[in-house]
């Protein structure tokens, strides 16, 4: 079976534009990503989506990593579930660029590669050499679970933590800020479209797993200030360490909520006359 996607753009609907000249202005008043969806027919969005991630705004072709740019490596540990490693550089405006990643997934749904800590540490160093950043100063951030002692099943007691094992290989980890309430606000702010330039977080198109998983994350129905953690959130948790290391002043309201659906409906509805307004 063959399918063809034909987007319906506002510019294609001459009859609507003629009958309701103010419709375009009402669409422009919508927040992203609804504005682009209704106006340009870009429906890479669904109800309950946690983040307004758009390829046209956030994904860019690779460019050389500047030799003097600050570098970050972020890490989310996983064994049965995927682990995630991301590499970032920061420009003079404080914009984060994710230029490479290593996602430890087996190919099955949310299943990890089951690599040991020494194998992951060696893989990190090997990839950094291939990226041309081996030997450069890199701030390496991870979750608090990397500093927990692990059971030593061979001799009893407790064995070294992930951070200790990595340090023995020359990969020195530092704890990232684990605040779930604050990190989702920073992630929203980084992705927010701006009038004065590109968003403050952009991703090289080679980071396919970031591009795949971030748009699929959904909001937690019981807590609007968090995402549904049953989803594939490993890359999100890892990437937030970079956002929290370079915090921005947020433009979200205190609750960090996205606009309600009734606001969307109100903007799209035809204008009421004085007699119709209750």
Q: How far apart are CA 203 and CA 171, in angstroms?
A: 24
- Per CATH, the number for 55-245 is 3.30.420.280
Q: What are phi and psi of 96, to 5 degrees?
A: -90, 135
pLDDT value for 157: 59
Q: Which residues contact 68 (CB under 8 A, 6 or more apart)?
A: none
- What is the four-CA torsion angle of 84, 90, 94, 95, rounded to 10 degrees? -60
Q: How far apart are CA 128 and CA 137, in angstroms?
A: 11
Helix ranges restricted to H, 169-260: 180-191, 208-213, 234-245
Q: What is the pLDDT along the chain (278 residues), one digit of tens a residue?
A: 688 777 778 888 888 888 898 888 888 888 766 777 777 777 666 667 889 898 989 999 999 999 999 999 999 999 999 999 999 999 999 999 999 999 999 988 889 999 999 999 999 999 999 999 999 999 999 999 999 988 765 655 578 999 999 999 999 999 998 888 899 999 999 999 998 999 999 999 999 999 999 999 998 888 877 899 888 999 999 999 999 999 998 754 444 444 444 444 444 455 444 444 44
pLDDT value for 76: 97
Strands (E) across the chain are located at 59-60, 71-76, 83-90, 96-104, 138-142, 150-151, 158-159, 174-175, 201-204, 219-220, 223-227
Q: What are phi and psi of 141, to 5 degrees?
A: -115, 145
- What is the four-CA torsion angle of 30, 32, 33, 36, rounded to 10 degrees? 60
Q: How far apart are CA 96 and CA 198, in angstroms?
A: 11
pLDDT value for 47: 67
pLDDT value for 260: 40
pLDDT value for 159: 83
| 186 alpha carbon, distance to own chain's centre | 10
Q: How far apart are CA 32 and CA 54, in angstroms?
A: 9
Q: Which residues contact 266 (CB under 8 A, 6 or more apart)?
A: none
Q: How far apart are CA 238 and CA 192, in angstroms?
A: 19
CATH 3.30.420.280 location in the chain? 55-245
Q: What are phi and psi of 147, to 5 degrees?
A: -105, 5
């Amino acid at each position: 079976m063959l399918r063809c996607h034909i987007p319906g753009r506002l510019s294609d609907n001459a009859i609507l534009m003629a009958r309701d000249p103010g419709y375009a202005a009402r669409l422009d008043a919508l927040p992203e990503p609804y504005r682009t969806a209704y106006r340009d027919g870009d429906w890479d969005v669904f109800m309950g989506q946690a983040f307004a991630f758009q390829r046209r705004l956030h994904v860019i072709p690779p460019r050389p990593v500047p030799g003097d740019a600050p570098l970050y490596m972020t890490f989310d540990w996983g064994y049965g579930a995927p682990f995630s490693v991301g590499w970032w550089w920061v420009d003079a405006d404080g914009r984060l660029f994710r230029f490479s990643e290593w996602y430890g997934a087996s190919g099955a749904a949310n299943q990890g590669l089951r690599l040991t800590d020494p194998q992951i540490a060696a893989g990190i160093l090997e990839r950094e050499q291939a990226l041309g950043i081996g030997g450069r100063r890199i701030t390496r951030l991870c979750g608090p679970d990397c500093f927990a002692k692990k059971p030593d099943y061979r001799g009893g007691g407790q064995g070294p933590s992930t951070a200790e094992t990595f340090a023995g290989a020359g990969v020195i980890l530092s704890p990232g800020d684990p605040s779930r309430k604050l990190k989702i606000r920073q992630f929203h702010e980084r992705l927010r479209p701006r009038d004065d330039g590109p968003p403050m977080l952009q991703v090289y198109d080679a980071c396919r797993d970031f591009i795949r998983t971030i748009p699929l994350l959904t909001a937690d129905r019981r807590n609007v200030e968090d995402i549904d953690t049953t989803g594939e959130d490993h890359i999100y948790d890892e990437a937030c360490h970079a956002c929290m290391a370079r915090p921005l002043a947020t433009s979200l309201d205190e609750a960090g909520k996205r606009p309600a659906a009734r606001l969307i409906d109100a903007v799209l509805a035809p204008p009421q006359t004085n007699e119709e307004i209750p």
